[in-house]
Amino acid sequence: MAKYSIIVPAYNEEKSLHFFYDAVTPLFNGLNEEYEIIFVNDGSIDGTKGILKELANQDKRVKVCNFSRNFGQQAALLCGMEHANGDAVIAMDADLQDPPEVALEMIEKWKEGYEIVHGKRRKRKGETVFKRTTAKLFYGFTRKITGMDIQRNSGDFKLYDRKVVNAILSMGEHDRLLRAQAAWVGFKQTCVEFDRPERIAGASHYTVKKMVKLAEAGVFPNTDYTLTLPIKLGLLLGFASVACFIAFIVLALNGIAFGGLTAWLFPTAGALTAVVLVCQGLANIHTSMIYKEVQNRPKYILSDKYNLDE
Ligand code: UDP
Ligand code: MG
């Protein structure tokens, strides 16, 4: 019999928690398998903590971690994963925008052998044009710059097999975007599609500042593009300057007048700038290597072993 851990980040969710509990528990009770719900109270300043204490008192399957302040949804998900002991871990928002019946579909996929199941949004109710546009741009840009297959139109509503959770927990970095890490670890992945409803109560907590922070955590730990950019620009500028010199020499040898001595300043300045950019780029490659060491990700991740001890 499998055990499921539902992990739920909650920040000022006093209005939605009872709805969430009342929607999720009957569905999971119906499975006749073991489960736990781990709420991570992300430094809420409303009645969230009191409600969670009440729920935990009346139901031992409800477990609660209270953060000392607001650390953000990604940190809350990490905390949930660290405390989960299920064979499969399902991350869900507290506001019922991740429909619990879709979690059951995810479990079906998991039973078929998939190790990560993404909740993929078909329609997104109640989201502003701004949010939808920035999300689209973010996924397009991040997929391109990191070269990783980050699922489009999926947030953090996902099911992770125990192996995947262990792999993600072995990634040492501080700034995390779980959906990018889910792309990095590999494993057998699939999606279930759903229409995302509006939140059951309250309002979204995602300010532009929080969205920018999330985007940074998706990009910078996953690519050295920005660090290697100067060397690429430097080489480009270097080639352009050399081509310019050659053109000027050819023109001069053929006695064609072209702007005199000052014109030579352009390729000269270009060549010198190219040298600076290339040197900067070389130093950046070193920085990138140091970052990878500090980031301390596993060098590889196993999916299975044969004839070796598990
Ligand atoms: N959340 C959190 N910490 C935060 C912001 C949000 O734990 O700093 C939780 C929130 O309570 C909810 C989930 O993360 O369970 C998604 O947040 P929200 O619904 O505000 O985001 P949206 O659905 O609008 O993207
Ligand atoms: Mg929401």
Q: Convert the pLDDT of each residue in 131-176 to its tens digit.
A: 888 888 888 888 998 999 898 888 899 999 999 999 999 998 898 9
Atom 13 (ligand 1): residue with closest C-alpha? Answer: 93
pLDDT confidence band for 199 (50 / 70 / 90):
confident
Query: Which residue has the least CA distance to atom 24 on ligand 1?
Result: 204
Looking at the predicted structure, is the pLDDT value of residue 257 above 80? no
pLDDT band at 10 (very low <50, low <70, confident <90, very high): very high
- Measured CA distances, 35 to 100, 125, 127, 286, 307 (Å): 13, 29, 31, 47, 32
Report long-range pairs for 135-139 (Cβ below 8 Å, ≥24 apart). Answer: 138/215, 138/218
Task: Please tell me the pTM assigned to this model.
Answer: 0.87
Gap from CA of 214 to ligand 1 centroid (Å): 12
**pLDDT, tens only, 259-292:** 778 888 999 999 999 999 999 999 999 999 999 9
Q: How far is the CA of 69 from the centre of ligand 1 (A)?
A: 15
pLDDT band at 309 (very low <50, low <70, confident <90, very high): confident
pLDDT of the residue at 1? 85
Residues 41 and 64: beta-carbon distance below 8 Å? yes
Please give the average per-residue pLDDT across 176-202, as a whole number: 93
pLDDT value of residue 201: 85
- Tell me what the pLDDT averaged over the chain comes to: 93
Best of 13, 71, 95, 199 for a ligand 1 pocket test (most atoms within 8 Å of beta carbon): 95
- pLDDT of 34 reads 96
Ligand 1 geometric centre to CA of 109 (Å) = 26
Which ligand is nearest the CA of 213, by number? 1
When mean pLDDT is compared over 30-44, 114-128, 213-227, the highest value belongs to 30-44
Q: Quick one: which atom of ligand 1 is closest to the CA of 199?
A: 19
* 3-class secondary structure, 144: helix
Residue 310 has pLDDT above 70, yes or no: no
What would the two tokens of residue 187 be? 């494993």
CA 101–ligand 2 middle distance (angstroms): 17
Helix or strand run (H / E) with residue 233: helix 225-253
